[in-house]
Amino acid sequence: MGSVMSDLKNALGKNILDIARPRDNRIYLKVKPEDIPSVIKYLFFDYKCKFSTATGMDMREGIEIIYHFAREDKKMLINVKTLLPYPHPSIESIGKDIPAFDWIERELNEMLGVEFRGHPDMRRLLLADSFPPGKYPLRKDFQNSDVNDEDYDYEKSGL
Amino acid sequence: MDILKKSFKKSIWVFHLSTAACNNCDIEVLELLTPRYDIERFGMKLVGSPRHADALLVCGAVSAHAKPRLLEVYRQTPKPCLVVLFGSCACSSGIFRDSYSIVGPVDKILKKEDPDVKIVYIPGCPPKPEAMIEGIVMGLGAL
Amino acid sequence: MKRTIVPLGPYHPLLEEPEHFKLYVEGERVMEVDVEIGYNHRGIEKLSESKTWDQVPYLVERICGICSTSHPFAYCLAVEDLLGCKIPERAELIRVVVAELERIHSHLLWLGLAGHFIGYNTVWMWAWKYRETILEICEKLTGNRNHYAMFKPGGIRRDFNDEQIEYGLNRIEELVKPLTMLTNAILDDPVIHKRLKGIGILSYEDAVLYSALGPTSRASGVPWDTRWDEPLAGFKDLDWKVITQENGDVFAKTVVRLLECFESVSLIKQGLEKMVEGPIDARIKEVPPGEGCGRYEAPRGEVIHYVRSDGSNMPYRHKIRAPTFNNLPTFKVSCVGETIADVALITASIDPCYCCTERVGVVDECGNEKILREDDLIRLSVEKTEQIIKDLGKVPTLYSKEI
């Protein structure tokens, strides 16, 4: 099981800012936003990991994105973290190359306002088309009561 | 009108729609068609179009995306029609009430559209199939 | 050839959630699929940030009525991962039993609906009749038919007593015979073979590329099963195996689900027989700052929950990913090249929350609009089944057109 740690260090050593293994089956990596495409392509194509999902989180200094990869035969979950600073959180799109990333990038875009450079199809995925633009529900300055029935623009609902 | 009421009470046809439900209620509705409950012995039937329906069966709190569609389906249903709110979410938006995406319980939305709408509430999470049969029967009795 | 758009959705009288599909067709063949979701978006991740750690299981239970064990399971694992705590063995076994009961009823539910789509209403009624047995066991063991409210971080809420365990063992034994009969009947039926084989193929490579999950990936030969890979989940001492198939078509997905039902029956029996005495709760007092991931294999595939705590009594961030989120985009490959009559079946085959709905409008390039209803799409599917029966020359015993 320790071999996953050494594999990652050998392959990605120069890109890793920080690596931690708080539990036997969890690894947390920190990398710079510009290294994300190469790290992810290594994990997905060369290291044969399954892409589980990506989490976006509003920290005070920026948006933190965590890509969760599972290496099933080693019983290991590898989490790759990166921080996109405010005011314009933006990162290279992976969805244009790997279809598994397509939807989650659309979700992060509408929920947190992260720009994915080069994503081919950045329509809304979960939010209604009538949802007021410029508001991002999962940011911490957004309250549930900020958007009510009267704020929705039902003209845009596509009926 | 009397003949309408009289015919309405026999063998009602139901159009089922889910407006941001957790689909548990929807499954319990389908459960009614299966041999254990077999709702068709009362002449009740799920139909594929609101234009054929006597009753609308609504499950779930209403999301902003689904609200215009709910109103459109209600407009298409021939009147008089019975609206059955199945489950706590449909009755009161339940646990999702505070969410930004939920725009209110079904009854509030429908009453704005048509103040005379006839509504039956069947709370529960999810209500048992027996509760639904009883709810519809009580609703018909109250018409 | 002219390319026309066939919208499917979003409302439907049959199955769960509303979804909207746009099929780009040339003649009968589907060339491209576009999926629009979001009708059911309830903002649960945001709501979860305003609930205390103990209240969140009730909320995540209501993400989906069919996976109403898997989401709390994954959430509790995430909190336990954050804390690094181990839960008592009795609680682990009870979790396994409840989760596996849910798997059987979910698979039978899917089987029945798949039967309905191809015009085999007998299969529908049978599968749902036996599913009712499971719901009765659930009601006896947990107190409700769905939404069991059994899970809490650190353990479970309610214990089983001896009477309940014996009831569960007896009733689950009852299920084996009809389940065997149903499986044999379906796997022997020539029309079902013809109708489901070679339809909606998802290749091994595509399953990996889309990171498909659960029975959808296992039918394509990708042996990913989170129960096997997550040592926390209480499955390590029980005897069971991961079911895989190679072909990736709808038939393979059916076989995977049917055989998994038997594995689940065996897991439930082992869990109830092995039930050890002891506490059911690790009694978590507070959640320190930190982060944790919980993964669990729901009937449809891997559920992953990620929680971040800042030391308060509510999650700072709670990310939820349900399996259909990864499985739905596979339509972009599995539907392409198939006929419209098969699309309802293929989209159903990943067990999403789908059926087509209120209306299907066919718009041709001249702007003439023809409204097809949801019944029509099922009719197309049923007609294809009847054509196969005609070609075969005899009516199989399982087939009946009317309910």
Instruction: Give this complex's ipTM.
Output: 0.91
Say if the Cβ atoms of C147 and B26 lie within 8 Å.
no
Interface probe, candidates C36, C208, C306, chain A, greatest A C-beta count within 10 A: C306
- pLDDT reading at C283 higher than 70: yes
CA–CA distances in Å: residue C42 to residues A11, A150, B47, B71, C207: 41, 17, 27, 19, 29
Closest CA to C330 of C40, C33, C38: C33
| A residues 119..158 contacting B (CB < 8 A) | 127-131, 137, 142, 144-149, 152, 154, 157
Q: Which residue of C has its CA nearest to A64?
A: C317
**CA-CA distance, A99 to A77, in Å (whole number)?**
20
Q: What is the mean pLDDT of chain C?
A: 81
**CA-CA distance, A108 to C327, in Å (whole number)?**
18
Residue that the structure tokens 């209600």 belong to: B74
Tell me how many domains chain B contains.
Answer: 1
Q: What is the mean pLDDT of chain B?
A: 84
Residues facing residue B83 across a β-bridge: B56, B119
Does B22 reach chain C within 8 Å, measured CB to CB? yes
CA gyration radius for chain A? 17
Does B44 reach chain C within 8 Å, measured CB to CB? no
Establish, for the pair of chains A and B, how many residue pairs have beta carbons separated by less than 8 Å. Answer: 38
Does B67 reach chain A within 8 Å, measured CB to CB? yes
Nearest CB neighbour to C231, from listed A72, A75, A103: A75
Q: Can you give the residue range of the structural domain that contains B82?
A: 2-142
Say if the Cβ atoms of A126 and C209 lie within 8 Å.
no
The answer to whether A70 and A77 have CB atoms below 8 angstroms apart is yes
Please state which architecture CATH assigns to domain C4-36+328-392. 2-Layer Sandwich (3.30)
Shortest distance, CA B47 to any CA of chain C (angstroms) = 7
- Chain C residue numbers with beta carbons less than 8 Å from the beta carbon of B23 are 15-17, 64-66, 353
Average pLDDT over residues B24-40: 84
Q: What's this model's pTM, rounded to 2 decimal places?
A: 0.89
Q: What is the pLDDT of residue B65?
A: 82
Say if the Cβ atoms of A128 and B63 lie within 8 Å.
yes
Say if the Cβ atoms of C210 and A26 lie within 8 Å.
no
**Percent of all residues in chain A with a pLDDT value above 90, rounded to a whole number:** 19
Nearest CB neighbour to B98, from listed C17, C41, C47: C47
Closest CA to C134 of A83, B34, B135, A90: B34
- pLDDT reading at A1 higher than 70: no
CA–CA distances in Å: residue A65 to residues A82, A105, A108, C364, C379: 5, 11, 9, 43, 46
Question: For the sheet containing C290-298, what is the strand order?
Answer: C290-298, C301-309, C317-321
Say if the Cβ atoms of C132 and B34 lie within 8 Å.
yes
Shortest distance, CA A59 to any CA of chain B (angstroms) = 21
CATH number of B104's domain: 3.40.50.12280
Shortest distance, CA A157 to any CA of chain B (angstroms) = 7
- Chain C residue numbers with beta carbons less than 8 Å from the beta carbon of A52 are 211, 295, 302, 304, 321
Q: Which residue of C has its CA nearest to A141?
A: C46
**CA-CA distance, A29 to A8, in Å (whole number)?**
9
Q: Which residue of A has its CA nearest to B66?
A: A128
Establish, for the pair of chains A and C, how many residue pairs have beta carbons separated by less than 8 Å. Answer: 90
C367's CB contacts (< 8 A; 6+ apart) are none
Interface probe, candidates A4, A55, A83, chain C, greatest C C-beta count within 10 A: A55
pLDDT classification of B8: cutoffs 50, 70, 90: confident
Q: Name, of B6-15, C109-118, C347-356, the range with top average pLDDT.
A: C109-118
The answer to whether A117 and A92 have CB atoms below 8 angstroms apart is yes
Say if the Cβ atoms of A145 and B72 lie within 8 Å.
no
Q: Which residue of B has its CA nearest to A147?
A: B100
Tens of pLDDT, residues C27-84: 778 887 777 777 778 888 888 888 999 999 998 888 888 888 888 999 999 999 999 8
Tens of pLDDT, residues A40-93: 999 999 888 889 889 999 988 899 999 999 888 888 889 999 999 988 899 999
- Chain C residue numbers with beta carbons less than 8 Å from the beta carbon of A102 are 329
Please state which architecture CATH assigns to domain A2-128. 2-Layer Sandwich (3.30)
Spell out the domain ranges in chain C. Answer: 4-36+328-392, 44-326
Average pLDDT over residues B22-26: 81
Say if the Cβ atoms of A103 and C50 lie within 8 Å.
no
Q: Which residue of C has its CA nearest to B88?
A: C62
**CA-CA distance, B127 to C336, in Å (whole number)?**
40
The answer to whether A68 and C304 have CB atoms below 8 angstroms apart is yes
Per the model's pLDDT, the better-predicted residue between C176 and B140 turns out to be C176
Spell out the domain ranges in chain A. Answer: 2-128
Say if the Cβ atoms of B100 and A144 lie within 8 Å.
yes
- Domain C44-326 annotated CATH 1.10.10.10: no
Closest CA to C403 of C209, C116, C155: C116
